[in-house]
Structure 1
Amino acid sequence: MEHFSLFVLMSFLLILLPGPDTGLATQNTIVYGRKGGIQTALGSAGGTMLHTLAAVLGLSALIVKSALLFSIFKYAGALYLIYLGVTSLMALRRPKNALPQAARHDGRSPLLQGLLTNMLNPKVAVFFLTFLPQFLIAGANPVVPFLLMGLTYTVMTVVWMVLYVCLLDRIGAWMKRPNVQRAMQGVTGFVLVGFGLKLALERRP
């Protein structure tokens, strides 16, 4: 593997860009508190590792090359994001005092939400197949470098998202106000729906 330090730098810059995982972590931190946000981050990390293994095994290449498989993953991921966003928006119809400060999961697992949001996003598969190979030595066995880069990217993502969740949770009493929570939940709900629609309209590379 070549230029590992450059890979780390480029990965860090990419991780800072907000995406569906960040939107979901924001929502779950607001609704469920820090624990829910961290569980979402860990679920997302699990999805990233699954994409890494898929890239190593060649499954990601199969999904990218097959229009049918790519569409299945794309629309499944888009529908799931839209479902999460609409569910969040529908929750705003409850009375204000029904939105608890540390809401119960109501049967929904933030860990599973993070995993599915990441795993069902074919753009992540495309990312692993286009970004990681740039740092491989020509002709070398890609298995170990792919695993190392995937693990590094996953750890960096978890560290950043946990810091983000903790910062969001510690903003203070202002974030704890019911009106602010409802407003933030509404915004993140629309953001998740937007990400879902964007993913649905994404063309296969």
Structure 2
Amino acid sequence: MGLDAVWAFALVAALVTLTPGVDTMLVLSTATRHGARRGVLTSLGTLTGLYCWGLAAATGTSAVLTASTGAYTALRTAGAAYLFWLGLRALRSLLRTASPPPADPVPAVLSGRRAYVQGLLTNLLNPKIGVLYLSLLPQFVPADAAALPAGLLLASVHAVEGAVFLGGISLLAHRAGAWLRRPRVARGLDGVCAAVFLGFGARLALVP
């Protein structure tokens, strides 16, 4: 597989990576509330999802999404439900921070495993990523190249870019944690997260 194809894909993947979306907001919210390590683990879950989609696209498995209306609808419904759950959780956090705190508040603890799974599910339950990979990857794989190694190579390129971007967000959120956890700023972040998750969930549910 030629370097020209890899560099061309890297440029397109970088544009996709830098476009703010659900993954970005989830990592930012997690790192702000639970620290950089949990944010990085959430990022790793997201990147694992990219590898899964890359493998599915390389082997033709993701073509089932476009060929089967039932499979696509089922995955889209599950993804929308999960995003609604994330949005309602952010909304609940917003309402909680808007009211006076209890005398002895007990901070919520997010395990590393749960942080990773949240990132993984957010990515895997988005069928539009599968469709994106299905339509994007084949354009950069030469006809004479082995599909599986080429697909995994391109998925690795995307994953590295995602690791740098999302990892950077985790570290910046951790560094700015004291400011981001100020009541007014925290409420604003919760409001943005709720709007993003609920908005993307509604779009996933309503737009084929």
**Structure 1 52/106 Cα, relative in aligned 2: closer, same or farther at 3 Å?**
closer
Q: CA deviation at 1:182?
A: 2.5
Could you tell me whether the CA contact under 8 Å between 1:81 and 1:192 is conserved in 2? yes
Within the alignment, does 1:50 sit opposite 2:57 as a pair? Answer: no
Could you tell me whether the CA contact under 8 Å between 1:74 and 1:200 is conserved in 2? yes
Match of 1:91 in 2: 93
What SS does the corresponding residue of 2:23 show, helix, strand or coil? helix
What SS does the corresponding residue of 1:53 show, helix, strand or coil? helix
Instruction: Give the 5 Å matches for 1:56-95.
Output: 56-94=58-96, 95=99
Match of 2:15 in 1: 13
Q: CA deviation at 1:201?
A: 1.9
Q: CA deviation at 1:23?
A: 1.6
Match of 1:109 in 2: 114
**Structure 1 7/91 Cα, relative in aligned 2: closer, same or farther at 3 Å?**
same
What SS does the corresponding residue of 2:143 show, helix, strand or coil? coil
Within the alignment, does 1:141 sit opposite 2:143 as a pair? Answer: no
CA distance in 2, matches of 1:158, 1:100: 34
Q: Work out which of the residue numbers 97, 114, 128 in structure 1 matches 2:133.
A: 128
**CA deviation vs aligned residue, 1:173-196 (integer Å, no higher than 9, x gap):** 322313321321222122111111
**CA deviation vs aligned residue, 1:12-69 (integer Å, no higher than 9, x gap):** 1211001111121122122222222111111101111111121223220012211000
Q: CA deviation at 1:103?
A: 4.1
Could you tell me whether the CA contact under 8 Å between 1:48 and 1:118 is conserved in 2? yes
Could you tell me whether the CA contact under 8 Å between 1:25 and 1:165 is conserved in 2? yes
Instruction: Give the 5 Å matches for 1:175-190.
Output: 175-190=180-195
**CA deviation vs aligned residue, 1:151-170 (integer Å, no higher than 9, x gap):** 11112111110012211222
Q: Which amino acid in structure 2 is aligned with residue 195 of structure 1? A: F
CA distance in 2, matches of 1:81, 1:116: 10
- Matched residue count: 203
CA distance in 2, matches of 1:100, 1:134: 53
Q: CA deviation at 1:107?
A: 10
What SS does the corresponding residue of 1:93 show, helix, strand or coil? helix
Q: Which amino acid in structure 2 is aligned with residue 73 of structure 1? A: L
TM-score, length of structure 1 as denominator length = 0.89
Q: CA deviation at 1:114?
A: 0.6
Could you tell me whether the CA contact under 8 Å between 2:59 and 2:147 is conserved in 1? no
Could you tell me whether the CA contact under 8 Å between 2:33 and 2:181 is conserved in 1? no
What SS does the corresponding residue of 1:59 show, helix, strand or coil? coil
Q: CA deviation at 1:72?
A: 0.5
**Structure 1 37/172 Cα, relative in aligned 2: closer, same or farther at 3 Å?**
closer
Say which is worse superposed, 9-18 or 167-176, in terms of deviation: 167-176
**Structure 1 101/198 Cα, relative in aligned 2: closer, same or farther at 3 Å?**
farther
